[in-house]
Amino acid sequence: MSAVVIGIDIGSSGARAVAMDATSRIVAQSTSSLSDFGDNHLDPDIWWAAVARSIRGCMEAIDNSEVRAMAVDGTSGTVLPVDSTGRPLAAPLMYNDKVADAGLLARIAPLMPPESAAHGPTSGLAKMLFFQLVPGVAKLLHQADWIAGRLSGRFDVTDENNALKSGYDPVAGRWPGWIAGTGLKPEFLPRVLAPGAVIGNIQAAAADQFRLPSDVRIVAGTTDGCASFLATGASEPGDGVSALGSSLTLKLLSSAPIFAPEFGIYSHHILGMWLAGGASNTGGKVLAHFFDPDSLRRLSATIDPSRPSGLDYYPLLSPGERFPIMDPSLPPRLEPRPAEEGEFLKGLLEGIAAIEQLGYQRLEEFGAPKLKSVRSVGGGSANPHWTSIRRRLLGVPFLAAASGEAAAGAARLALAGAREAGIV
C-alpha cells in the first residue's frame, strides 16, 4: 500500500472514518456512536471523541506512515461559535434547529437574493446572527469546520459547500456584500476554500494522538449530502444520485450552476463542477406510515413492476411540497385506495418514482444536463421491485454506487487534495 487518505463523516448520531487508497478503493473503515461517550449529542467534545475512535479504528487496518491527507464532512447548516483558540462557547444549533426570532428573520429576508440558500429559520446565516452575540466569540463555524480545526489547528476556515446556507455566493466565489446589511460582523466569518483544497498540515497534537506523519495534509471538506454524492462514484455531467431515505433527495452533476428557489433548487460547487438538486417531502416516511418493514418486504414481493397500477398518487403525509413542485399547500393524493394492500403499495412506489422523474425533468428545464445515469442510495435502494418501477419511468442506466458512506465521499475529497499537492 503506497498511499492512503482518510475521510471522516460526523453526523447527528455518530462518526465514521474511511481509508481509501490512490485507486479510490476502500481499504479500511470504522464507526463510532456518539452515545458511547454520553447522552449530550450537542457536545462538540463528544463529536471529537467519536471521530477520534473512528480514526483509530481505521489505523488498526493500515500503515499509519502511508496516510497522506484527511478531509471531513458534517451536517449541513450546523453552526457553533468558538473563541480564538477554537473552544466552543455555546451548544451548537444543529442542521434542523430553527432560530425562533421571527423579527430577525423578517428583517433579513428582504436583504437576501431570491437564489440564496440562506433563507429560512434553519439557515446557517440565521444561526450565525444569533451566535454573534455570544461573549468572546471569534469565529462562527460549521460542524465539519470545527472537526477539521481539531486536526489542523485552524479554526478560521470553512468550505464552499458548508458556507452555502450561511450566505456564501459560490458563483462570485466570496461572501457577498449584502451580508453586512444583515448586521453580521464580517470578522466572524471564516475564510472559504474550495472543497478538496489543502488547509494545511496536521497539527502536532493530532499527529501525536493518532501516530500520523507530521506532513499529513488536512483538506477542506463538504456537507454530508455532497459527500454522499461523491461517495457513489458519480463524476460526469448528467450523472444523477437519488437518495431514497425518509425523504426523496435528487442531485445531478452539471457544468453550470442552477438556482431556482421557486422550485427549491440550488447548486453546490465541487471539484470544478456544480451539483444541482432538491429535496421532496415524499419518500420512505410515507411508506413507513402505512407499512411496517416486514409488511413492506412481503408486499413488495407480490408486485409486478412491469404492469402500471393506473393509480395517480402524489404521496405526502400532510399538505405542502418543496421540490419538484413548490407549493406549501399542495395536498396529498392517495385516493382511490384499492382493497389489495399490495396494489396500494405499488401505487405509492409508482407515485414516488413519478416525483423522482419530474424532479430530474425540472432540473433539466432550468439548465441542467439531461439525466444520463442514476445511482441510488438510502434504504429504498435495496428494494428491487421499486428499482424496477423507477427504471421503467426514468429510462436511463442504473449504475451501482461505489459506496453509500458519506465518509467515502470525504475520502475522495482528501484524495483530490493530495493529488493537487502532488503527494499521491
The span from the CA of 269 to the CA of 197, in Å, is 13
Residues 6+ apart with CB under 8 A from 301: 385
Output the 3-class SS for the chain: CCCEEEEEEECCCEEEEEEEECCCCEEEEEEEEHHHHCCCCCCHHHHHHHHHHHHHHHHCCCCHHHEEEEEEEECCCCEEEECCCCCECCCCECCCCCCCCHHHHHHHHHHCCCCCCCCCCCCHHHHHHHHCCCCCCCEEEEHHHHHHHHHHCCCCEEEHHHHHHHCCECCCCECCCHHHHCCCCHHHCCEEECCCCEEEECCHHHHHHHCCCCCCEEEEEEEHHHHHHHHCCCCCCCEEEEEECCCEEEEEEECCCCCEHHHCEEEEEECCEEEEEEEECCCHHHHHHHCCHHHHHHHHCCCCCCCCCCCCCECCCCCCECCCCCECCCCCECCCCCCCHHHHHHHHHHHHHHHHHHHHHHHHHCCCCCCCEEEEECHHHHCHHHHHHHHHHHCCCEECCCCCCHHHHHHHHHHHHHHHCCCC
Which residues are registered as beta bridge partners of 193?
A: 159
**Domain at 4-226+406-420: CATH code:** 3.30.420.40
Report how far apart, in Å, the C-alpha atoms of 17 and of each of 62, 122, 197 are.
12, 27, 19
Rounded (10°) CA dihedral 271, 184, 143, 35? -160
What cell does 374 get? 442514476
The pLDDT of residue 144: 98
The span from the CA of 346 to the CA of 362, in Å, is 24
Of the candidates 283, 296, 286, 300, the residue with the CA atom closest to the CA atom of residue 353:
283
Average pLDDT of 214-229? 96
The span from the CA of 287 to the CA of 383, in Å, is 12
Angle at 185 between CA 183 and CA 187, to 5 degrees: 170
pLDDT tens per residue, range 385-400: 999 999 999 999 999 9
Residue 354's pLDDT band (boundaries 50, 70, 90)?
very high
* CA within 13 Å, CB half, 121: 9
Average pLDDT of 127-152? 98
The pLDDT of residue 264: 82
The pLDDT of residue 116: 93
Average pLDDT of 101-108? 94
Mean pLDDT of the chain: 96
Which residues are registered as beta bridge partners of 333?
A: 314
Average pLDDT of 107-114? 94
The span from the CA of 188 to the CA of 218, in Å, is 22
Average pLDDT of 96-114? 93
The pLDDT of residue 70: 98
pLDDT higher than threshold 60 for residue 406: yes
The span from the CA of 227 to the CA of 72, in Å, is 9
pLDDT tens per residue, range 288-322: 999 999 999 999 999 999 999 999 999 999 999 99
**Domain at 235-399: CATH code:** 3.30.420.40
The pLDDT of residue 385: 97
Average pLDDT of 84-88? 97
* Domain residue extents for the chain: 4-226+406-420, 235-399
What cell does 250 get? 435528487
pLDDT higher than threshold 60 for residue 412: yes
In percent, the amount of the chain with pLDDT more than 70 equals 100
Domains 4-226+406-420 and 235-399 share a fold: yes
The span from the CA of 316 to the CA of 390, in Å, is 18
Residue 1's pLDDT band (boundaries 50, 70, 90)?
low
The whole-model pTM stands at: 0.93
pLDDT tens per residue, range 174-219: 999 999 999 999 999 999 999 999 999 999 999 999 999 999 999 9
Residues 6+ apart with CB under 8 A from 320: 281, 327, 328, 329, 330
In percent, the amount of the chain with pLDDT more than 90 equals 96
Which range, of 166-170, 262-266, 370-374, 416-420, averages the lowest pLDDT?
Answer: 262-266
The span from the CA of 140 to the CA of 180, in Å, is 15
The pLDDT of residue 282: 96
Burial readout 170-197 (b: 16 or more C-beta within 10 A, e: otherwise): beeeebbeebeebebeeebbbebbbbbb
